[in-house]
Chain A
Amino acid sequence: MNKEILVIGGGIAGIQSSLDLGEMGFKVHMVERLPSIGGKMAQLDKTFPTNDCAI
């Protein structure tokens, strides 16, 4: 059994999973195919329902 985890995709979903697992003490490898993480959310100006800035 291995306590390392692979998260594929660095959008908001992959980011949240990685942070949760990292906080629990697991070693996480996050793989993102683009040059930076953020996914679609990084391209948004602000987000509903709060109109907070996306980044």
Chain B
Amino acid sequence: MLDVGRHPNIELMAYTHVERGEGQSGDFTVTVRRKARYVEEDRCTGCGACAEKCPTVVSDAFNEGLGTRRAIYSWFAQGIPSTHTIDPDHCRQLNGKKCGVCKKTCQADAINFDQEDRVVELHVGAIIAATGYEVFDPSIIPEYQYKEIANVVTALEFERLLSASGPTGGHLDRPSDLAIEADIEALEKKAKRSQRALDKFEEKYDEASPEFYEKYQNGEYGHDEDRKKWASKYGAHMAIAEPLEALRRRAEGFAVAKRLAFIQCVGSRDFRFYPFCSSYCCMHSIKEAIIAHEHEPETTSTIFGMDIRAVGKGFEEYKVRGGNKSAITYVRGRVAEITEAPDHNPVIWYEDTCERRVKSQEFDMVVLATACAPGKGIKELTQVLGIKINEFGFLKTNPSQPLDTTRPGIFTCGCAYGPMDIPESVAQASGAAARVAQILSEFEMRKAS
């Protein structure tokens, strides 16, 4: 990534949309919109001081919504470019409220609330569409209850939980526990505020609130207005403090997830959604189980699948090693349903297709190996570029020229073409680059002859 940012021949335009494409192979004109970041790219040093001070908290999409960021943010800590961006949907200042805290903080004078989009016209000989994929949304499978059961997560969410730079610092804290911890934090803030109100009365009358309240209830203070106020404040405080205490007691029992289940082919090889195999998900489930076991040696994992597709150099060995050294059990079976037991434990109901019996098993967390779905903006992009998609929504190519789209001069590689892992994406990317070099040199030679 760093090399792209530094390469003298590569102009990097992030936070940019492709709006129009015209012309033909060898001579395209493409119009792109460089969206306003409200931060000057040539001034921002990426120091992050602004984000520390920004008061507006927003759900963090890079962490799949498992953590938060501020309205001024970097996509992720090591991102290239490291330029910060103001999110216009959430920034107070850009929504007409008083703020500008980031501008006051920034020593580089990089923040510019008046920045506007810039429309740029590019003249290019060839185009490579490497727009990737989207994670299949499992909430449309009702029997897996992805939205309803907190501890059922997608594999990409699980990657963020495993990551040392992720929202939990690499600990497998369960989403149900994280939600309760967030509630505790919010209640603690409220309790602090209501305690301050009580402090004033306690000082004034030199008496602790609980003792006062008991006497008040016994009618010792009659109809004294001030004490009536105190009593009502105390009631309000207890309405916060009691549930807070209960939650705190519950949180004492929280532990990281150690019994993991992985469900394969969620949205893949399923005629209701995508009939194809997404090719990389068997491998990433094994990988995630191995890493979880590295973090916490007591962790056990069960991978439920029709079969494990470990197709690649060294992949089968990786699978076997995972079973032997990382406490992974492979179960040949189809998961019919996930339900929730007490303590937010998901329960998997499945058919063991070897024993031909329906069974169930309880886990701490369930990870869904979701399908590789076509990118969200792919339709718009194909309209802009005048290229076609195939029956599943990936870019259409032809088997004898697999990297050529339906329009000469426009090529594709990686998951925009279809599901594939990183080594394959890299190989295709080099292939697409070679195709570009080939057609451009053909033009060159024709011109010379």
Contacts and interface: CB of A to CB of B under 8 A. Distances in A.
B113 interface: no
A36 B125 contact: no
A17 B13 contact: no
A47 B15 CA distance: 26
B239 interface: no
B283 A49 contact: yes
Interface stretch (B48-56, B137-145, B212-220, B413-421): B413-421
Contacts of B28: 2, 6
A33 B37 CA distance: 12
B124 A4 contact: yes
B425 A13 contact: yes
Interface string A19-41: 11111111111111111111111
A15 B230 CA distance: 64
A45 B291 contact: yes
Contacts of B82: 36
Nearest to B446: A1
Given A2-B123, A22-B10, A32-B12, A48 B17 contact: no
Nearest to A15: B4
B284 to A, nearest CB: 7
A31 to B, nearest CB: 5
Contacts of A6: 28, 30, 122, 124, 126-128
Contacts, number: 231
A13 B433 CA distance: 10
Given A24-B437, A55-B78, A1 B130 contact: no
Given A37-B80, A40-B132, A43-B62, A49 B312 contact: yes
Contact of B12 (A2, A37, A43): A37
B7 A35 contact: no
Binding site secondary structure of chain A: mixed
B429 interface: yes
Interface stretch (B154-162, B191-199, B349-357): B154-162
Contacts of A20: 429-430, 433-434
A11 B132 contact: yes
Binding site secondary structure of chain B: mixed
A37 B124 CA distance: 21
A35 B74 contact: yes
A14 B414 contact: yes
Contacts of A41: 422
| Most chain A beta-carbon neighbours within 10 Å: one of B27, B162, B432 | B432
Contact of B128 (A8, A46, A47): A8
Contact of A55 (B1, B74, B437): B1
| Most chain B beta-carbon neighbours within 10 Å: one of A2, A4, A46, A48 | A48
Contact of B7 (A9, A13, A19, A47): A19
A20 B438 CA distance: 13
Nearest to B286: A48
Interface stretch (B176-184, B254-262, B313-321, B361-369): B313-321
Given A32-B13, A33-B17, A17 B27 contact: no
Interface of A: 1-49, 51, 55
9 contacts: A1-B440, A17-B433, A17-B436, A20-B433, A24-B437, A28-B9, A35-B37, A47-B287, A48-B287
Given A11-B132, A21-B437, 10 more contacts: A5-B124, A9-B130, A12-B422, A13-B415, A16-B426, A25-B9, A30-B4, A36-B74, A36-B79, A48-B421
Interface of B: 1, 3-4, 7-18, 26-28, 30, 32, 37, 62, 64, 73-76, 78-83, 85, 122-133, 156, 159-160, 162-164, 166, 170, 283-284, 286-287, 290-291, 312-315, 318, 377, 381, 413-416, 421-422, 425-426, 428-430, 432-434, 436-437, 440, 443-444, 447
Nearest 10 Cβ contacts at the A-B interface: A13-B414, A36-B79, A16-B429, A14-B130, A20-B433, A22-B9, A9-B130, A2-B125, A13-B130, A36-B75
